[in-house]
Amino acid sequence: MSKQSPIIAPSILAADFARLGDDTAAALAAGADWVHFDVMDNHYVPNLTIGPMVLSALRKYGIAAPIDVHLMVKPVDRIVPDFAKAGASSISFHPEASEHVDRTIGLIRDSGCQAGLVFNPATSLDCLDYVLDKLDLVLIMSVNPGFGGQKFIPMALEKLRRVRRMIDERGLAVRLEVDGGVTAENIGAIAAAGADTFVAGSAIFHAADYRAEIAAMRTAIG
């Protein structure tokens, strides 16, 4: 099994919250594949964002694309069914935010969503040995979580290479996602390191022309 077709997932953390439906729809109309939905709780990370009610509102507004929920919350399990019910397609969480990683993965999948595990820049990949075959995606953070607009941390490239090898050696169809500081300038090197799913917030939503930015990313991915 090799890399899957590239997915570009704009992080709506950088969208205009006063007109979130319109801005999300504009990114999708400009060529994005998924919507990346960052949930922060002012506990696991020092910031507070959006929850299931906002996700549900986006679905009601008419956003039909996959919504990729990144939970930066602790604890995790209590809130999983709420996001599934609101219309999440995938739900990813940080292993250190759950007491029982395997159980949380099962809970997400039983709720009808794809399951992902997220690794911060300094978090060990050890637990992947035990759960990789139960996951739909692995998300490598290339910034410390909590804020958009940070600079890409280059050591994430080595982590991507390691996870790519693990996925390929086991012949799995797990997506390898990257998040933080992704731009049209660095996305080629990130793709070469093995990522197939690219989260970008500021680079897309702060661009004058969403379509041109996404097209430049696709060209650089190759």
Ligand X SMILES: O=C(CO)[C@@H](O)[C@H](O)COP(=O)(O)O
Catalytic residue among 68, 136, 179, 196: 179
27 binds ligand X (CB under 6 A): no
> Looking at beta carbons only, is 10 or 194 nearer to ligand X?
10
Residues 77-136 within binding reach of ligand X (CB under 6 A): none
Among the listed residues 31, 150, 172, 216, the single contact to ligand X using CB under 6 A: 150
21 is known to lie in a ligand binding site: no
Q: 131's torsion region: left (phi>0), alpha (psi -120 to 50) or beta? A: alpha
13 binds ligand X (CB under 6 A): yes
| Annotation says 179 is catalytic | yes
Residues 172-191 within binding reach of ligand X (CB under 6 A): 179-182
Alpha-carbon distance of 133 to 205, in angstroms, equals: 34
Q: What angle do CA 23, 151, 128 make, to 5 degrees?
A: 90
202 is known to lie in a ligand binding site: yes
Alpha-carbon distance of 89 to 110, in angstroms, equals: 13
By CB under 6 A, the count of residues binding ligand X is 22
Please return the burial class of 106, using the count of CB atoms within 10 Å of its CB with bins 0-12, 13-18 and 19+: middle
How far is the CA of 195 from the CAs of 20, 148, 192, 206, in angstroms?
Answer: 27, 20, 7, 23
* Contacts of residue 37, Cβ cutoff 8 Å, sequence gap at least 6: 12, 50, 55, 67, 68, 69, 70, 88
Catalytic residue among 38, 41, 68, 196: 38
> Looking at beta carbons only, is 112 or 154 nearer to ligand X?
154
Please return the burial class of 141, using the count of CB atoms within 10 Å of its CB with bins 0-12, 13-18 and 19+: buried
Asked whether 198 and 6 are in contact (CB, 8 A), the reply is yes
Closest contact distance (angstroms) between CB of 52 and ligand X is 17
> Looking at beta carbons only, is 112 or 149 nearer to ligand X?
149
207 binds ligand X (CB under 6 A): no
> Looking at beta carbons only, is 145 or 194 nearer to ligand X?
145
106 is known to lie in a ligand binding site: no
Active site residues: 38, 179
Contacts to ligand X by CB under 6 A? 11, 13-14, 36, 38, 70, 143, 145-150, 179-182, 199-203
